[in-house]
Amino acid sequence: MPILFENVSHIYSEGTPFRYSALSNVNLDITEGKITAIVGETGSGKSTLVQHLNALLLPTSGKVTVLDRTIISGEKPKDLKGLRRNVGLVFQFPEYQLFEETILKDVEFGPKNFGFEDSEKKAKEALKMVGIEESLFEKSPLELSGGQKRRVAIAGILAMNPKVIVLDEPTAGLDPSGSKSMMNLFYDLNKKYNKTIIIVTHDMEQVFAYCDEVVVMSQGQIKLKTDVKSFFKDSSLCKSFGILAPHLIRLKDSLIEKGFKIDEEVDSIESLVKIVSRQVKK
Amino acid sequence: MNVIEVNNLSFSYGDNINAIDNVSFKIKEGSYTTIIGHNGSGKSTIAKLLIGLLEPLKGNIMVEGVPLTLENLSIIRGKIGIVFQNPDNQFIGSTVRDDIAFGLENYMVPQKDMDAIIERFSDKVNMRAFLNSEPSRLSGGQKQRVAIAGILAMSPDIIIFDEATSMLDPKGKEDIKNVIMQLHKESKMTIISITHDVEEVVESDNVIVLNQGKIVMEGKPSKVMVNKKLLSIGLDIPFSYKVVEELRKQKVKISDEVTMEGLVNQLANLI
């Protein structure tokens, strides 16, 4: 089922002096079952774009199709429950949105609201998925560390078993191991549970290591959609968008500049070093 | 000379767990020290203790020979400036100029001297062109640079960056890192940067690694940041060091102390 933007524009505060055009004439087809990264500088429209996916924002003009729902500008959409259940949106710093007395109750809130009869079971499964131990279930969310809180917030979305999971900068402010296990979680959700994952991120190392496709945004427009391998073939494409390529690709390019011959695809330090070590005096 | 001496410092937020647990370290004048640890390792608590925002449970802190006590607080704050994590929480003025002026006004710097100081330090952080801009027109990185200019204008001997780049986008991060590097090269200021960016650590003279409120490793980044122990405490090994390790496995002779640039140059000489 498609995730499709057709000629979508979004203007904030239309008709006021604060009018701001955040998306202009966006056409985009996000592939189902893949991990797609949305990248671009601050203010390029990434967050505005993804909030259209579950109709939190409605297009000022154009059409958004998400799975079996189509949202058309100017038409007030009726009953968004189905769409909201199928598309889970995790905001930036979601840990600030925890509010219940216990962790379990917090995660249960969503499925309960959607009328799931087995909301407790769903909540427990979701907490397990994000690696929160059962001994913590009855504790207050406030007793958790920042990284744990964020996991609980994500579990709240997973408990509704959405088909599409949208994450707006999910690893911002986390330390390296926290980021890594968070990204591994999304990777597993995609590979094991076949969830479509859409991640807004600034971190090209993550895009390189975990994502299948990449969408580059600038000034409210889609500048490029391509697969991650071709995006990081060398650093020139990144550079043309003012994006800093992953370390490995930059190193590879610098070495080529110094006379090394690296024609093969490089996807890890090991693979690069193997090629390089054949060409140096030992 | 040591500008900061921390002796047997402990601190608890009142939950019987020591957020800082018997920590001692010294920081040399003019050095660039990074303090690294995972979320919750106690690194930001140390920053708050160093500027007297928190009071130690045990132990003491000496800043340029002056003990950090409640009575000495204003003397100490004259010596240390701090840049915090969230740029939005630090903007006080309605323009960049007002913001940098705020601290100076508090220290009763004469109005006639103020403009020159503001221009000089906004220049240092590359924000002179924005002096009359409103904060809402600035990016996170630009706001953070203004915060740095405001601190520099007070001419502290020591500047602490408390995760000053962690909320910024890559460009903002790069800008602030460059400002830090430039300060380190061009001034005699002592720099302490609290971070979980392992790539920033490579550039520093010294690194202190914290875990569960304790110092677990300390020393030159090229010696410390290769230790596998980092992985078990939620950190990572910097990219260039991983490459060096892999090169050595392949019997390539390569020396320590490498930044990416150094690494590329070393390899180019072996071709």
For chain B, the C-alpha Rg in angstroms (whole number) is 20
Pair B155, B186: CB distance under 8 Å: no
Give the A:B interface size as CB pairs under 8 Å.
100
> Does the pLDDT value for residue A172 go beyond 70?
yes
The answer to whether residue A240 is domain-embedded is: no
- CB of A17 within 8 Å of any CB in chain B? no
Cβ atoms of B177 and B203 closer than 8 Å:
yes
> Do A277 and A225 fall into the same domain?
no
Of A147, A202, A255, the CB nearest to B267: A255
Chain A residues closer than 8 Å to B38 by CB: 175-178
Q: Residue A279: pLDDT band by 50, 70, 90 thresholds?
A: very high
Region A140-153: mean pLDDT is 86
Instruction: Say if A234 is an interface residue toward chain B (CB within 8 Å).
Output: no
A124 and A251 fall within a common domain: no
Predicted confidence (pLDDT) per residue in A38-72, tens digit: 999 888 999 999 999 999 999 999 999 999 999 99
Please provide the average confidence, as pLDDT, over all residues in chain A.
93
Residue A239 domain-assigned (yes or no): no
Are B260 and A178 inside 8 Å of each other by CB? no
The verdict on A135 and A269 lying in the same domain is no
Is the pLDDT at A37 greater than 70? The verdict is: yes
Range A121-146 average pLDDT: 91
Q: Does A76 touch chain B (CB under 8 A)?
A: no
Take residue B108 and report the two structure tokens written for it: 């009763």
Q: Residues A151, A189: one domain?
A: yes
Burial of A139 (0-12, 13-18, 19+ CB in 10 A): middle
Residue-number span of the structural domain to which A250 is assigned = 246-282
Whether the pLDDT of residue A198 is over 80: the answer is yes
For residues A228 and A259, state if they share a domain.
no
Query: Are the C-beta atoms of residues B160 and B190 closer than 8 Å to each other?
Result: no
Cβ-Cβ contacts under 8 Å, B137 against chain A: none
Question: Nearest Cβ partner of B246 from A203, A242, A273?
Answer: A273
Smallest Cβ–Cβ distance between B264 and the set A41, A255, A281 belongs to A255
B235 and A CB contact within 8 Å: yes
Same domain, A68 and A183: yes
Percent of chain A exceeding pLDDT 90 equals 76
Residue A104 φ/ψ, nearest 5 degrees: -60, -45
Which chain A residues in 28-57 lie under 8 Å from chain B, judged by CB atoms?
41-43
- Same domain for A195 and A257? no
Q: The tokens of B214 are what?
A: 């304790």
Q: Which residues of B touch A131 (CB under 8 A)?
A: none
| Closest chain B residue to A278, measured at CA | B250
Task: Looking at the structure, tell me whether residues A120 and A256 fall in a common domain.
Answer: no
Q: Could you give the CA distance from residue B85 to residue B73 in angstroms, rounded to a whole number?
A: 22
Average pLDDT (A134-152) is 88
Q: What are phi and psi of A203, to 5 degrees?
A: -95, 105
Per the structure, the count of domains in chain A is 2
Nearest CA in chain A to B237: A176
Q: What pTM does this model have?
A: 0.86
For an interface test with A, give the residue of B169, B230, B245 to mutate (most A CBs within 10 A): B169
Contact A274, B250 (CB under 8 A): yes
Q: Which of A41, A173, A280 sits opposite B271 (nearest CB)?
A: A280
Q: How far is B65 from chain A (nearest CA, A)?
A: 34
The answer on A268 and A195 residing in a single domain is no
pLDDT at B150: 92
Q: Please determine, for residue A191, whether its predicted confidence score (pLDDT) is greater than 90.
A: yes
| CB neighbours of residue A115 within 10 Å | 9
B235 to chain A: closest CA residue: A176
Pair A263, A163 in one domain: no
Question: Sheet of A61-66: strands edge to edge?
Answer: A20-30, A3-12, A61-66, A69-72
8 Å CB contact of A145 and B40: yes
In a domain, residue A238? The reply is: no
Residue A103 pLDDT greater than 90, yes or no: yes
What residues of chain A lie within 8 A of the CB of B249, using their CB?
Answer: 273
Give yes or no for a contact between A98 and A127, defined as CB atoms under 8 angstroms apart.
no
Are both A119 and A259 inside the same structural domain? no
pLDDT confidence bin for A210, thresholds 50/70/90:
very high
What residues of A are in contact with residue B252 (Cβ under 8 Å)?
273, 276-277, 280, 282
Residues A176, A271, single domain; the answer is no
Average pLDDT over residues A18-44: 94
Superfamily of domain B2-237: P-loop containing nucleotide triphosphate hydrolases (3.40.50.300)
Q: What is the mean pLDDT of residues A142-153?
A: 85
Q: Which residues of chain B have pLDDT under 50?
A: none
Range list for CATH 3.40.50.300 in chain B:
2-237
Strand partners, A30: A3
Vertex A87: Cα angle to A86 and A92 (nearest 5) = 150
In a domain, A241, yes or no: no
* β-bridge pairing A35-39 and A87-90: unpaired
Pick among B34, B139, B195, B196 to test the A interface (most A CBs inside 10 A): B196
Q: How far is CA A108 from CA A161, A191, B220, in A?
A: 12, 25, 48
